[in-house]
A and B are shown apart, each in its own frame.
Chain A
Amino acid sequence: AQSVSQHNHHVILSEAASLELGCNYSYGGTVNLFWYVQYPGQHLQLLLKYFSGDPLVKGIKGFEAEFIKSKFSFNLRKPSVQWSDTAEYFCAVNGDNNDMRFGAGTRLTVKP
């Protein structure tokens, strides 16, 4: 089964700083990759997903992620964060065995 590793447990940034959250997975087959976000007091919701085509995918609220197959990575980026981006971010991988795996999550705190 696949596994997912998120490198940072807690990231603290000031507003307007650039963001990159790391996500690496281990799986030898075809992967479908997701980033979910959980804002304080809200449901988990999808930020973006990749399953084929252009490895640079754009999601909601200015987020993007790049799939680098050779590095087994799917890092999440945003050029300029806002206070409202404070949330917990989860990377998830689903292989062709349809066995979704989530990372441990990264808590992002954006200071105004």
Chain B
Amino acid sequence: DGGITQSPKYLFRKEGQNVTLSCEQNLNHDAMYWYRQDPGQGLRLIYYSQIVNDFQKGDIAEGYSVSREKKESFPLTVTSAQKNPTAFYLCASSIVGGAMDEQYFGPGTRLTVT
């Protein structure tokens, strides 16, 4: 069954701790994306990667970091520098990352930092 998996579904952390969100896809897609979804603000792009070992910052990259060592995996680290990390995080992938490509989304991880 092809798709995108994100784990865990819910994550709780104390302020000042880094936390890594997992994203794995078995769709053989080249491009992967991380979005943050906040009520009333839609989806905002954090980072994206169009090929292994390469990634670009999105609109709100500050306080986040990513890696793309394998085609199927694109983990996101929320660092202690992120001022407002509590949010719903969505991972997506697309075939080649072209402008006409549909993006396929995972189920999301809800992160709560207290």
Q: Please list the residues of chain A having a beta carbon within 8 angstroms of any beta carbon in chain B.
A: 4, 6, 9, 32, 34, 36, 43-46, 49, 51, 90, 92, 94-98, 100, 102-105
Given A43-B107, A44-B90: A104 and B41 interface contact (C-beta under 8 Å): yes
Given A43-B106, A45-B105: A9 and B40 interface contact (C-beta under 8 Å): yes
Q: How far is the CB of A60 from chain B (nearest CB, A)?
A: 12
- Chain A residues with CB under 8 Å of B33's CB are 100
Contact between A102 and B99, CB atoms less than 8 A apart: no
Contact between B99 and A104, CB atoms less than 8 A apart: no
Any A CB within 8 A of the CB of B27? no
Please measure, in the bound complex, the distance between the C-alpha atom of A43 and the C-alpha atom of B45, giving whole angstroms: 17
Main SS of chain A's interface residues? Answer: strand
Any A CB within 8 A of the CB of B2? no
Contact between B100 and A104, CB atoms less than 8 A apart: no
Q: How far is the CB of A94 from chain B (nearest CB, A)?
A: 5
Q: How far is the CB of A71 from chain B (nearest CB, A)?
A: 21
Contact between A103 and B98, CB atoms less than 8 A apart: no
Q: With contacts A32-B99, A46-B103, A96-B99 known, what are 18 further pairs, Cβ within 8 A?
A: A4-B42, A43-B4, A43-B105, A43-B106, A43-B107, A44-B90, A44-B105, A49-B102, A51-B99, A51-B100, A92-B43, A94-B99, A95-B99, A98-B98, A98-B99, A100-B103, A102-B44, A105-B40
Closest A residue to B108 using CB positions: A43
What's the A-B contact tally at a CB cutoff of 8 Å? 46
Q: How far is the CB of A96 from chain B (nearest CB, A)?
A: 6
Closest A residue to B103 using CB positions: A100
Mark out the residues of chain B between 31 and 50 whose CB falls within 8 Å of any chain A CB in the assembled complex. Answer: 33, 35, 40-45
Please measure, in the bound complex, the distance between the C-alpha atom of A4 and the C-alpha atom of B90, giving whole angstroms: 19
Please measure, in the bound complex, the distance between the C-alpha atom of A98 and the C-alpha atom of B45, giving whole angstroms: 12
Contact between A102 and B100, CB atoms less than 8 A apart: no
Contact between B102 and A104, CB atoms less than 8 A apart: no
Please measure, in the bound complex, the distance between the C-alpha atom of A76 and the C-alpha atom of B111, giving whole angstroms: 31
